[in-house]
Structure formats: C-alpha cells, structure tokens
Amino acid sequence: MNTHGHERARNLIVLAGPEALSGADQAWLAAHVETCASCRAFAQNARETVQALRAIPIAAERSLVSTTQMRVRRRALELQRSRERLWLVSVSCTVVTLFALLSTFVLWRGFAWVGAQAQLAPSIWQVGFIVFCITPALVAGVLLLARDTHLADHTGSYQG
Amino acid sequence: MAQESTEIARGLRRRDPDLLDRLIEQYQHRLLRYLVYLTGRRELAEDLFQETWIRVLERGHQFNDKYAFSTWLFAVARNLAIDHMRRKQPASLDGLLNDDEAPLEVPATGQASAFDMSLRREQNEHIAAGMQHLPAEYREVLVLRFQEGMSLGEIAGVTLVPLGTVKSRIYRGLSALEPWLKGAPL
C-alpha cells in the first residue's frame, strides 16, 4: 500500500461524521482498513478520541442562563425605549417643520399685505420679514451667551 | 430547518424577548461548551456567553434565514472572543491558545462505579487535558465537528476559513490528541 492510500484512508476516517461517506468511499475504506493494521489502529484511536470528546461534560449553570435572560430582557427594553424616543423625536421634527413652513407662508403673505396697505417698497417689507423671522433666534442667542458669561463670572469669582 | 430558521429570523427582527429566552435555553450548553473550548477559561466563556446573547438581540436583523441559526450564533460568539483577545493583546485566535496560567476547566465526570467507568473517565480526562494543549484553531474545529455535529461547510462558515483548512485542522487536531488518548501525563 502506498503513502497516498494511507493518507486517503486517514482522511476518510477523520472526516466520516455528520456527512456520510459515499458508498464507494465506504467500500474502499473498509477494504483498506481490513488489510492495513496501522490505519485500523488509527481508526480505533480516532473513534475513541471522538467518544471521549463527546463525553466531556460542560454544562451551563442555571444561574448563568437566568442572568443572561434577564440581561437580554433589560437590553431589549432599553432598545425599545430608545426606538420609541427616536420615533417621537422624528414625529416632532416633522410636525415642527410643517408648522414652520405653514407659518412662514402665512407671515410672508401678511407682510406683503401690510406692505401693500402702507404703500411700502417690496424690499422694505421683505427686510422687515427677515428681521421678524431671525429676531427671536438672535434674542435667544444673546440671552444664552449673557447667561453663560454671567455663570462663568460667578463660578470664577467663587474659585478665585 | 428552513422553516425554523425563518421563524427565528422573524422573531429576531422583532427582538422578541420570549424567543430569545427560548433560544438561550436551547443553546445554553452548546454555546458555553464552544466558548469554554475556544477561550480555555470558564469564567471568560461565561462572560462571552452573556455578551453573545446581547449581540444576538442587537444584531438579530442580520441573521440570514438561509443558514442554520447555530452557525450564525457560533460565528457571533467567535467574533466576540476574537474582539476580546484583540483588546487584551493585538492578536487573532492565536492569542487564545496554550495559556498556561489559565487551564481549561473541565469538571470531573462523576463518581467511578466500576473499573471500565473509571478507565473511561480517565481517558476523558486525558483527552480534556490534551485539548488544552491544542492550538485554539484545532480545539475549535474539533468541538464544532464532534460535539456540535456540524458539517464541514458549516464549520467553514463559522470559522471563515476554506473547507480544505477545516479538514486539515480536524485531521491535525485528532492526530495531536492521539497520544493523550494513550495516557500522556496530565
């Protein structure tokens, strides 16, 4: 028997498992093992090793399983809450955007009407419209800056 | 199997906690055994066991129901183990092998009641000891093949190596265990 024959036999012995060997391979292996003492011994050893491997008991403890289930449930709840929050934020953003568009349109028409009534040049009431729109944001920004400056001064005086 | 995978995929997309409870129960021993052999440490394996199920919950939508759930589950666990080792030391699965300070913790197989039982137990202990001397790559394929009963294709899917490499690792792993079967010193 050549080396290739032994190698093939050992490969088949090791790989015979969940996928059954083909009929031809099985027949060839049986014939080979019958005549080859070393491959027969190898097959026996492989069988015993696999049996021993399967017999090693490693089991998860009950506490590990219940802790894992609890952690998974808690995480699932967190994910669900964060998804709900995200949904709420998305809906709020959509509603705010729609209202902003609507109010901008209404205001624009309002300024145009007032400009027409007061017989103002369009550029004047348009500038007025822009100032009207950005004033709240500007005021809020200034107030926030003032508050931060005040807080920084206050904290600084405590630290100093 | 396909029907079962489809139902699991649907439940995972919904993040159904009852389904996850069931899956944890169903795969508890298999997953832990795989992780114990992969990492060589029971404590680390238990941590990774929990992390694996959290990851399954978070990434459940990525499960493709064309494959068996167990294949995907083991792949998730494997990736977590590798990530853990990379954080600890910049290495791959090689970092998991032959850590002398962390022996593979395998419980005793129970009380000997007869001579052959005792012999068998001894043999099992030899093999368990032999496993801890094997490179992690070999341990991994041996567990997947002979304890999980996975096909070669499934193992290749979990370990992300070609089929030929899986075959040679099984062959070399079993061959390396042979001296231990014959009673190499514990």
pLDDT, tens digit, 9 for 90 and up, residues B78-95? 999 999 988 876 555 555
Q: Indicate the DSSP class of residue A22.
A: P
**pLDDT at B108 (0 to 100):** 42
Task: Tell me how far apart the alpha carbons of residues B49 and A87 are, in angstroms, rounded to a whole number.
Answer: 32
When divided into structural domains, chain A yields a total of: 1
How large is the C-alpha radius of gyration of chain B?
17
Classify residue B137: in a domain, yes or no: yes
Classify residue B9: in a domain, yes or no: yes
Residue contact B49–A68, C-beta within 8 A: yes
Residues of B in contact with A81 (CB under 8 A): none
B residues 42-71 closer than 8 Å to A (CB): 46, 49-50, 53-54, 57-58
What mean pLDDT is predicted for residues B45-49?
Answer: 95
Q: What are phi and psi for residue B105, nearest 5 degrees?
A: -95, 105
Burial class (CB in 10 A: 0-12, 13-18, 19+), A2: exposed
Which residue in the block uniquely carries the two structure tokens 């031809």? A24
Classify residue B186: in a domain, yes or no: no
Task: Tell me how far apart the alpha carbons of residues A30 and A32 are, in angstroms, rounded to a whole number.
Answer: 5
* DSSP per residue, B55-90: HHHHHGGG--TTS-HHHHHHHHHHHHHHHHHHHHSS
What mean pLDDT is predicted for residues B152-169?
Answer: 89
What mean pLDDT is predicted for residues B162-182?
Answer: 86
pLDDT interval class at A3 (50, 70, 90): confident
Classify residue A66: in a domain, yes or no: no
Residue A7, pLDDT above cutoff 90: no
Structural domain containing residue A8: 3-55
Q: Which amino acid is at A109?
A: R
Structural domain containing residue B65: 2-181
Share of residues in chain B with pLDDT > 90 (%): 37
The ipTM of this complex is 0.74
Task: Tell me how far apart the alpha carbons of residues A156 and A145 are, in angstroms, rounded to a whole number.
Answer: 16
Q: Which amino acid is at B140?
A: E
Classify residue A101: in a domain, yes or no: no
Q: How many CB atoms lie within 10 A of CB A103?
A: 12
Residue contact B33–A73, C-beta within 8 A: no
Classify residue A152: in a domain, yes or no: no
Q: Indicate the DSSP class of residue A78.
A: H
**pLDDT at A143 (0 to 100):** 93
pLDDT interval class at B72 (50, 70, 90): very high
Residue contact B54–A49, C-beta within 8 A: no
Classify residue B47: in a domain, yes or no: yes
Q: How many CB atoms lie within 10 A of CB B172?
A: 17
Residue B146, pLDDT above cutoff 90: no
When divided into structural domains, chain B yields a total of: 1
Q: Is B176 on the interface with A (CB under 8 A)?
A: no
Q: Give the pTM.
A: 0.69
**pLDDT at A51 (0 to 100):** 81
Task: Tell me how far apart the alpha carbons of residues B84 and A150 are, in angstroms, rounded to a whole number.
Answer: 48
Residue contact A49–B177, C-beta within 8 A: yes
Classify residue A51: in a domain, yes or no: yes
Classify residue A29: in a domain, yes or no: yes
Residues of B in contact with A69 (CB under 8 A): 20-21, 24
* DSSP per residue, A99-156: HHHHHHHHHHHHHHHHHHHTT--HHHHHHHHHHHHHHHHHHHHHHHHHHHHHHHHHHH
**pLDDT at B40 (0 to 100):** 82
The structure tokens listed for A72 are: 């998974």
Classify residue A107: in a domain, yes or no: no
DSSP H helical segments within chain B, as ranges?
2-14, 17-39, 42-59, 69-88, 115-133, 136-142, 152-159, 163-181
Q: Indicate the DSSP class of residue B96.
A: G
Residues of B in contact with A15 (CB under 8 A): 152, 167, 170-171
Identify the weakest region by mean pLDDT among B43-47, B140-144, B176-180. Answer: B176-180
Residue contact B170–A58, C-beta within 8 A: no
pLDDT interval class at A157 (50, 70, 90): low
Residue B111, pLDDT above cutoff 50: no
Classify residue A81: in a domain, yes or no: no
